[in-house]
Structure 1
Amino acid sequence: MASIDISGVKKVYAGGVTAIHSLDLAIPDGELVVLVGPSGCGKSTLLRMIAGLEAITEGTISIGGAVVNAKEPAERDIAMVFQNYALYPHMTVRGNLEYGLKNRGTPRDEIDRRVTEAARILEIEPFLERRPRQLSGGQRQRVAMGRAIVRQPKAFLFDEPLSNLDAKLRGQMRIEIKRLQRSLATTSVYVTHDQLEAMTLADRLVVMNAGRIEQVGAPISLYERPATLFVAGFIGSPPMNLIELAYLQSKGTLELPANTDLVGIRPDTIHLTPPQGPHIALDATVELYEPIGGESHLHMRLEGSGQLIVAAVPARTAATEGATVKLYVGNADLHPFNKETGRRTD
């Protein structure tokens, strides 16, 4: 186990296309960090540079205090889990788990011990003599993780490992990965574009955009206090509503920083009854009532501006499409931003 330190790392492809812009990130020993962002933001490129599968243009990457820039992937003592499982189809599950250890000359009794322990942890003992084609997607993903576990590496790298699974199985495997990482306490870097995975798995979340880090922190911190307009719009489902300050100033007394011109409002902080303390009141017309189980989403158009916003309300809230409703938001739930800089102003 070891820390991972990324210092001034940059990636420029042929033709001058910059994928990663001089990035710094310190990952302490035992932490599970999730890299999240839209397609093309650079998260997979960064993971591949840590793994040694992608050359670094500038900067250094250290694992366990040792710079690994010039080391081959096999020399970095990391284990990678891919989205396509990458299992050998002609081998049994046991053969897949043993393969890397045999190549390293690990003694037979140690191979047996590690394979038995990994199979127990992942509950795949009944499948050890089967081949990958005889397994479900979730079972294959467990085998892929088992192959990483038996290595006993300094770090795990996960490259969107659940993207090929259905929604129910993804939820189950998220729990498995979190439980496994906590049990092994191995430094882990996990890449996903799925913010639900990111929010539930991460000790710390790294939101990336266009090859840069927008914000780093605990998932709930990024949700409750996004540092930039990008994070505000990317983290949270439904995303944060962003409304012009000029429109809101006539709806209540606001005390916001002078350079604020855009205000964010989370859908779950919009209420249909007045909250205690200072608040603003908005009138809106319901365009779509969307019951989704534990809550309902009201898609509404603000009176006077025509802007479409979303509110997350209790599941049994009665709402009639076409009706005008009164909305309330506490002043403490307003997020001030500056459009020009794209950053939070308080």
Structure 2
Amino acid sequence: MASIDLKGVRKVYPGNVTAIHSVDLSIEDGELVVLVGPSGCGKSTLLRMIAGLETITDGTISIGADVVNNKEPAERDIAMVFQNYALYPHMSVRQNLEYGLKNRGTPREEIDRRVAEAARVLEIAPFLDRKPRQLSGGQRQRVAMGRAIVRQPKAFLFDEPLSNLDAKLRGQMRIEIRRLQRSLKTTSVYVTHDQLEAMTLADRLVVMNGGRIEQVGKPIELYDRPASLFVAGFIGSPPMNLLPVETLAAVAGATMPTLTPGADIVGIRPDQVVLGGGDGIALSGTVELIEPVGGESHLYVRVEGIEQALILVQQGRANVGEAERIDFVLPIQALHGFNRESGRRVE
């Protein structure tokens, strides 16, 4: 196991197209860090640079005490798990697990021990003599993870490994990956565009946007105190309500408090809006749409004078109907202030 350190890492493609802008990131030994962001934000490029599958233009990448800029992928002592499994179709599960170890000259007894242990941990022992085509998607992904585990590498790199699975399997595999990572204590970097995956898996979350890091921290820290408008709008489902202060002031009138100087955008999480009365900014509107999502309901409320519908979360079944008028309050302590020009949080 080893830490991973990126210092001033840049990636510029021909035509002066910058994919990664001077990234600094330190990943601790045994930590699971998730890179998350929209398509094209640079998260997969950054992962591939760590793996050695992409060259870097500037900066240094260290795995443990070694600078690996000029090392081939096979020399970096990392193991990757891909979304398409990358299994050899003509080999059995056992042969897929053994392949990398055989190439490295690992003794037969040690190969058998590691394969047996990985099969036990991943519960794939009954499938060792099957070919990949005879397995389900979830079973193939377990084999792909097993191939990484038997290597006993310094670090695991996961490139959207669950994107080919259905929702139920994704949930099961998230639990499996987190359990394995905690058990093995192997430094891991995980790329996904799915924020639920990111929030539930990560020790620390790295939100990327346009080849830059927007914010790094524990998932709940990013949810509670987003550092930028981008993070506020990206993290959370449903996303944070974001409103221009002047618009909110015009609609709220006398109930609008004085906000932090420099804040011209105000945000509030949908689950912190209070239905009915109470202390805060009092508003009323018409329920435009209700999304029942099991244990809670998402209400989209149209307020006159505000361009976009506001989203409210009500626990359990909605006790109002579509086209119904409702009153609600934005508690002052739940508001987040941002500066429109810089896009950053204002304290």
TM-score, structure 2 normalization: 0.97
2 CA distance for matches of 1:246 and 1:11? 40
Correspondence for 2:93: 93
The offset of 1:253, in angstroms, is: 4.5
Matches within 5 A, 1:106-185: 106-185=106-185
Runs of at least 5 residues in structure 1 that lack an aligned partner in the other structure: none
Aligned length: 344
Structure 2 residue 234 is matched with structure 1 residue 234 = yes
1:106-140 per-residue CA deviation (whole Å, 9 max, x = no partner) reads 00000000000000000001001111011000000
2:344: which partner in 1? Answer: 343
The answer as to whether partners of 1:251 and 1:281 remain within 8 angstroms in 2 is: no
Corresponding position of 1:195? 195
Distance 1:201-1:251 versus aligned 2 partners, 3 A rule: farther
CA contact (8 A) 1:52 1:73 kept: yes
> Structure 1's 68 and 255: CA in aligned 2 closer, same or farther, altered over 3 A?
same
Identity %: 74
Q: What's the CA shift for 1:251?
A: 5.4
Residue 256 of structure 1 is matched in structure 2 by 259
In structure 1, distance between residues paired with 2:119 and 2:57 = 40
Letter in 2 for 1:291: P
Contact residue 202 and residue 219 of structure 1 kept, 8 A = yes
User: Residue 274 of structure 1 corresponds to which residue in structure 2?
Assistant: 277
Residue number in structure 2 paired with 1:213? 213
Identify the range of structure 1 (55-64 vs 239-248) with the bigger mean alpha-carbon deviation.
Answer: 239-248
Q: How many angstroms apart in 1 are the aligned matches of 2:11 and 2:337?
A: 33
| Map of 1:3 onto structure 2 | 3
1:257-293 per-residue CA deviation (whole Å, 9 max, x = no partner) reads: 2111110011101111334xx4111111111111111
Secondary structure of 1:118's match? helix
Q: Aligned to 2:242, what secondary structure does the other structure show?
A: strand
Q: Which moved more, 1:303-312 or 1:209-218?
A: 303-312
What letter is aligned with 2:321? T
Shift of 1:304: 2.8
Mapped to 2, the partners of 1:265 and 1:11 lie a distance apart of 36
* 1:156 counterpart SS class: strand
Residue matched to 1:334: 335
Q: Which moved more, 1:306-315 or 1:60-69?
A: 306-315
Query: Which of structure 1's runs of 4+ aligned residues deviate more than 4 A?
Result: none
Q: Could you tell me how far apart the structure 1 residues matched to 2:100 and 2:53 are?
A: 18
1:213-232: CA deviations, max 9, x gaps?
A: 00000000000110000000
* 2:16 pairs with 1:16: yes
Normalised by the length of structure 1, the TM-score is 0.98
Distance in 1, Cα, partners of 2:14 & 2:324: 56
